[in-house]
């Protein structure tokens, strides 16, 4: 496209490097900023630079934190004997939003994906094993829950972690896969429905 | 949502003020920036601030420009006797992409919308009339083409402009409305198809 100004072209180029944003959307956003107060643009720029340069990660669970420990790890009211393993911060937010989990987290920072060249050593797996192996004190880990997406990569990562964790002798579980609540049986795909029959739950 | 860090919350808040970007998308973009080089974030921030603070507008057609006059207005190879009236820079880019137009533009900067409290005085209409009225020199305007969207607001604005321009005595036209090229007749809506019959074009 033949942009009317080099400044616009630069801005569109930078904005469209964001995932899911093409040149057209980037141009729309750039023109939107041009129409608004200069202050909106500067506060947007400040916010992202501040976030990028000042954000720290929890030394324990690798979640994003304002301090050395994140809100969850530093909260003594939570159950420190359970660790839920997730891929990134978004998963932590999603699980926190359910209010059904009172334990701690461990953020892997990615998923094993041979296609993208991501192996176990690129993820925060070593520190997970270290945390799990600490067998003294009241923070002894009793259970590790794997909350990974039911994809090829997710299953590979889960399999790898499960094997490693089993040798430590901790209980390992995975979140339940099955028919979503509110979902119609006839619209569930075969694999999900099949899995929900195999992993059926007995009434107490 | 319960963000893990105030910095993230600020960034998500600022990003989600952009049109079409909600909290979830904003969080995805923020986490993306966190994963990439710090340099990507700073160059994005610099690009948008530079664009916002340094962009100027063409004194003649109000399009975005790097200089006093935009590329189009300063180009003596273009036909300075025709002005195409559009709402914003995106429309200029869209028309330029067709390579079918060799005249100048006039960017209104918005559209008459009583609902949003935008009246004729909020748009670059006075300067359009001034440009059109200049009846001396070789840049005398012979025709004004209204290239506005076929919406309620677009039609209102076109009606208003047409009345004003008629008093000056310049030829006023509008871009053709009709069945899109490549479109199937049976899928065209009634209003478009009806308009395409009323405004039928005779074979020469």
Q: Same structural domain for residues A124 and A164? A: yes
Q: Is the pLDDT of residue B46 over 90?
A: yes
B31 and B113 assigned to the same domain: no
pTM, two decimals, is 0.75
- The whole-angstrom distance between A74's CA and the closest CA on chain B is 12
- For testing the chain B interface, which of A3, A7, A118, A122 should be mutated: the one with the most B CBs within 10 Å? A7
* Per-residue pLDDT band at B180 (split at 50, 70, 90): confident
The residue with greater pLDDT, B12 or A196, is: B12
Q: Are residues B128 and B166 in the same domain?
A: yes
Tally of structural domains, chain B: 2
In this prediction, residues B177-203 reach a mean pLDDT of 83
Sign of CA dihedral B5, B11, B14, B18: negative
| A203, part of any domain | no
Q: Residue B118 has what pLDDT? A: 92
Please indicate whether residue B40 or residue A138 has the higher confidence score (pLDDT): B40
Confidence of residue B201 (pLDDT cuts 50, 70, 90): confident
- Beta-carbon separation of A2 and B66 below 8 A: no
Q: Are residues A39 and A120 in the same domain?
A: no
Determine contact, residues B47/A104, Cβ cutoff 8 Å: no
**Same-domain pairing of B94 and B168:** yes
Average pLDDT score, chain A:
90
Q: Are residues B83 and B44 in the same domain?
A: no
Does residue B137 form part of some domain? yes
* Nearest Cβ partner for A44 among B38, B48, B70: B48
Kindly report, residue by residue over B101-144, the tens digit of the pLDDT: 999 999 999 999 999 899 999 999 999 999 998 866 667 899 99
Nearest residue of A to residue B15, measured between CA atoms: A44
- Note the pLDDT of residue B30: 93
Residue A157 has pLDDT above 80, yes or no: yes
Kindly report, residue by residue over B62-85, the tens digit of the pLDDT: 999 888 889 899 999 999 999 999
- B103 and B152 both lie in a single domain: yes
B chain contacts of residue A54, beta-carbon cutoff 8 Å: 7
In a domain, B123, yes or no: yes
User: Which residues in B154-184 are b (16+ Cβ under 10 Å) and which e?
Assistant: bbbbbeebeebbeeeebebebeeebbeeeee
pLDDT of residue A138: 67
| A86 and A15 co-located in one domain | no
Does a structural domain hold residue A188? no
Tell me, yes or no, whether B45 and B128 share the same domain. no
A124-155 pLDDT tens trace: 999 999 999 886 666 789 999 999 988 899 99
The answer on A169 and A99 residing in a single domain is yes
Range of the structural domain that residue A42 is part of: 6-53
Q: Which residues on B lie below 8 Å from A10 (Cβ)?
A: 47, 50-51
Find, among A7, A54, A42, A45, the residue nearest to A27 by Cα.
A7
Given this model, what pLDDT does residue A66 score?
Answer: 83
Residue B110 sits in the same domain as residue B27: no
Residue B40: band (very low, low, confident or very high) from pLDDT cuts 50, 70, 90 = very high
At B89, which CATH number?
A: 3.40.1360.10
Q: Could you tell me if B168 and B105 lie in one domain?
A: yes
CATH number at residue A42: 1.10.8.420
User: How close, in Å, is residue A163 to chain B by CA atoms?
Assistant: 28
Interval A174-188 mean pLDDT: 84
Question: Do the domain assignments include residue A147?
Answer: yes
């Amino acid at each position: 496209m033949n942009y009317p100004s080099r400044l616009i072209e630069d801005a569109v180029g930078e904005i469209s490097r964001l995932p899911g944003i093409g040149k057209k959307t980037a141009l729309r956003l750039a023109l939107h900023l041009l129409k608004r107060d200069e202050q909106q643009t500067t506060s947007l720029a400040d916010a992202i630079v501040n976030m990028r340069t000042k954000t720290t990660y929890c030394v324990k669970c690798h979640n994003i934190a304002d301090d050395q420990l994140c809100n969850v790890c530093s909260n003594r009211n939570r159950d420190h004997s359970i660790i839920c393993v997730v891929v990134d911060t978004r998963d932590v937010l999603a699980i926190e939003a359910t209010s059904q989990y009172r334990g701690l987290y461990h953020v892997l920072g990615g998923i094993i994906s041979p296609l993208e060249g991501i192996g176990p050593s690129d993820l925060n797996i070593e520190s997970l094993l270290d945390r799990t192996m600490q067998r003294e004190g009241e923070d002894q880990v009793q259970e590790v829950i794997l909350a990974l997406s039911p994809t090829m990569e997710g299953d590979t990562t889960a399999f790898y972690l499960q094997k490693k964790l089993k040798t430590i002798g901790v209980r390992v579980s995975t979140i339940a896969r099955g028919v979503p609540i509110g979902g119609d049986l006839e619209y569930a795909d075969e694999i999900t429905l099949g899995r929900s029959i195999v992993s059926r739950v007995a009434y107490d």
